Amino acid sequence: MLAAEKLIRRGAQDGIFPYAEWALFGRDGVLERGATEGAGGRYFDLASLTKTFTSTAVLTAVKEGLLALEDDAGRLLGQDFLRGMSVFSLLTHTSGLPAWYPFYADGRPFFEALEALLAAQGRGEGMVYSDLGYMLLGLILAKVRGAPLEAAIDPLGFGVSYRPDRGLEFVPSCRDNAVEEGMCRDRGMVFSGFRPHCTDVAGEPNDGNAHYFWRDVSGHAGLFGTADMVAALGRFYLATDDPAYLGGVTPQPGCEGRCLTFHTGGAFPTGCGHTGFTGTSLWLDRERGVGLALLTNRLCYDHLPTADMNTFRRSVHEALLDNLKESEF
C-alpha cells in the first residue's frame, strides 16, 4: 500500500491529524500495518465506530433468537412514546429520531428528555444519521442479554472495550469539547461540566453524551480499541457467508445506501464502511477481499478541525484500489 501509506504520512505532516495507525487486511488476516510514529498498537477512542460493534452485537442477538429486526423498540424498552420504531429502523437510521441532542445539558432522565424532545419536534422522515437511535440499541442489547452493555457489546470477541484499563497506551483523542460547546450554544443550552480547554483527553470518550451522560458506556460511542481490533471486525464481514450478518454489508431498500452495520458512498469509493468523529474509519470491499482500518486523532489540536477528513479518507482508499489493480499487495 505504498501510495496510500505516503498519503497517510503526508496527512500527519500537513496537519490533517497529529497521528495515525492503520491495518490493511484481507479475509485471512492483516496484510500490512503501520503508524506515523513508533511501533503502533496503541488504543484509540473509536467514537462512532462503536456503532459497528453495537450493530454486530444486535445481529448476533437476532441470530440467537433473542431479538428480531421487526421488534418494536417501545415495547422492548417499556416506553409507549417509542412505539412504531423497529430495531431495523434504529440500525438503518430511519426511525425518525433526530441526529443529536445534548442529554448531559438537559438535566432530565434519558427517557423523560427524549419524550419531551420528540413531543416538541415530532419524528422526522427518511434517513437521518442518529446517535440517539444507537443509544436505544445499546439499551436494547443490555435488556435482551440481561447484562450490562459492557458485557453485551462484543459477543464475537474482537477485543474492544469500554472504560479500558488505565495501564494501556492511549492515543489522546482531543484537547477539549470545543465542538460540542458550540453545538450547545447553537441550541441555547448551557453545560458547566465541559473539560478544560487545551488539555489532552486520553482513555475517556471525546463524545459528550457518551462521557458526561452515559458515564463512558453507550451504544453510539465510547469503545476503545486498536487498529488490529477494528481490522478484525472488518475481516469478519469480509469473510462471512452467514445470512444473519450479510445485511450488515448490504444496502437496505429506501435507506439511502445504509446497510445494517455499514454504509456506502462518501469516503468509500467501493464496498462499504463507517467513520468516527475522532478521525477513525473502517472500509471493506467484499468483492475485492480487502479493507482498511485507519485510526487517527484529528481532534487533538488547540483549534477546531478544519480538514475535510472524508475527502482525505477517500483518496487513501482510492490509492489502495489502484495498488490492488497493479498487484502491489
Fill in the DSSP letter of residue 281.
E
Nearest to 323 by CA among 8, 49, 36: 8
Alpha-carbon distance of 198 to 86, in angstroms, equals 41
pLDDT of residue 286: 98
pLDDT of residue 73: 98
Region of 157 (left: φ > 0; alpha: ψ -120 to 50; beta: rest) is left
pLDDT of residue 323: 87
Alpha-carbon distance of 303 to 300, in angstroms, equals 8
pLDDT in tens, 133-164: 999 999 999 999 999 999 999 999 999 999 99
E strands present in the chain: 20-26, 29-35, 44-45, 224-225, 263-265, 268-276, 280-285, 290-296
pLDDT of residue 1: 77
Domains of the chain plus CATH, in order, are 2-50+171-325 (3.40.710.10), 54-152 (no CATH)
pLDDT in tens, 197-215: 999 999 999 999 999 999 9
Q: Which three cell numbers stand for residue 30?
A: 492483516
Please compute the mean of the pLDDT values over residues 275-296 and round it to a whole number: 98
Alpha-carbon distance of 60 to 113, in angstroms, equals 30
pLDDT of residue 324: 84
In terms of C-beta density within 10 A (0-12 exposed, 13-18 middle, 19 or more buried), how is residue 257 classed?
middle
pLDDT in tens, 220-240: 999 999 999 999 999 999 999
pLDDT in tens, 33-55: 999 999 999 999 999 999 999 99
pLDDT of residue 327: 64
